Structure 1
Amino acid sequence: MNADLPRTVGVVGGGRMGAGIAHAFLVAGGHVVIVESSAETAAAARDRVGDSLAKAAAKGTLAEPAQEVASRLRATADRAGLSGCELVIEAVPEDAALKAEVLAAAEKQAPGAVLATNTSSLSLAGLAAGLAAPGRFLGLHFFNPVPVSDLVEIVAGPRTEPELLTRAQGWVAALGKTPITVTDSPGFASSRLGVCLALEAMRMLEEGVASAADIDTAMTLGYRHPVGPLRTTDLVGLDVRLAIAEHLARELGPRFEPPRILRGLVAAGHLGRKTGQGFYTW
């Protein structure tokens, strides 16, 4: 295990993002506790991580057997499982009230731990309002899919201790990823830029400028983006993109107002890859 990493990391929320974060720390040699809302969802999270590790092993990207890596994972519905963690990362849905409640509960269970949020756009100042030690709180915005993504956006809250940012940069490097550090602002750097591009691509599709595939190809071949903005939206989830756009529109103005096509697809239940239909058919 890399000495720069916390020995035991808690992840609250074992969905796609939480499982991916767990995968990253496990592969780097850490121990991980996933806390979920029920025994059933905890078991599903354990299976999700196991499947991810098996795929990595099949590609030859693990330095040790997948079963040995998975042996360092515990998944539970009991928040007391966080008590021995040095770092706790919340990865629950993008709901400010839910995240704030999860973080406050985690602080009670692991009072000496560093707390982190995986939010892609919400205010850290707001999420920290209920914490006793906001200096030990920061953002660690991982990108989907976490196991193969190279970037982690470190977000400094208004009261985050400077030394903690330095430690977080070491953690990210130890995971084999590249950190960028931003201040607490709506959408940070990545979501603000990514959503801005995606919303304009949606408006172009809505206006009949080009097909979804051709708009995406313009960015992948013309600007060397690995994935186009509309396909990326399908991967992230149209409902997630809509929520972020609405938040940015409230904070930054009408240039982030979601297009009709996005609202219509979400209302119809077409949320992207997870439902089989979005801007593309999956």
Structure 2
Amino acid sequence: MDRLRAVVTGASSGIGAATVRGLVAAGWEVVAVARREDRLAALAEETGAEPFVADVTDDASVAALASHLAATGGVHALVNNAGGAKGLASVEDSDLADWSWMFEVNVLGLKRVTSALLPLLRRGATERGVADLVNVTSIAGHTAYAGGGGYNAAKFAAHAVTEVLRLELNGEPIRVVEVAPGMVRTDEFALVRFGGDRERADAVYEGVPEPLVAEDIAGVIVDAIAKPRHVDLDLVIVKPVAQAAPYRLAKGPLVVKDGPGA
């Protein structure tokens, strides 16, 4: 068998780019998939990953990706990372176009890529003894919060799709892994959510001691697919210590409280 090959969507920045770096460092051959050719080219030059420009919201684009992968070897792991949030308005006041975008990217994009690449994952499982389907969701897909209506709905749906996949693929040597990050400070997530408003994006993390970074989540993904083939990390929720819930964040230094026996 040639080197193990992984496909990572949403690879041009943040968790996706960090996952590409982590997998390459772990010895994987990686196909980095995203819309932005310039960013993919830079990542490919840095890591040696193979860039492939594709839009997970476009049928023809994903079909072209699947055809390319089928012609050039198997796929042993798929990381569905492409996604994002737009807006923080109430259900009543939020923009329906933002909801549509979030559902298209976070849910239909995941479904589209998974459907296209599952036959290749089956081939990869035959070669390796196991294949991995990793869906990067969010704690927003497990706990609702005010202002999160559209993003909550999309990520709850992505979580549901992941659970259904686990049932439907039961009996096959394919591990279905969900990694649900909490607050992760990346270069673009909050910036996209707030329409490019840098001041508002930066304020999200202000005063929060040590929010997660993209490499923290990438490390969890790389570890999950490196486990012995009988071990499946079904769901991994990863939050910074300062975050108890999407709506509950400690600000300032973390300190031990005085109490009995202190």
TM-score of the aligned structures, taking structure 2 as reference length: 0.47
Higher relative contact order (CA 8 A, sep 6+): 2
Q: Which has the higher helix share?
A: 1
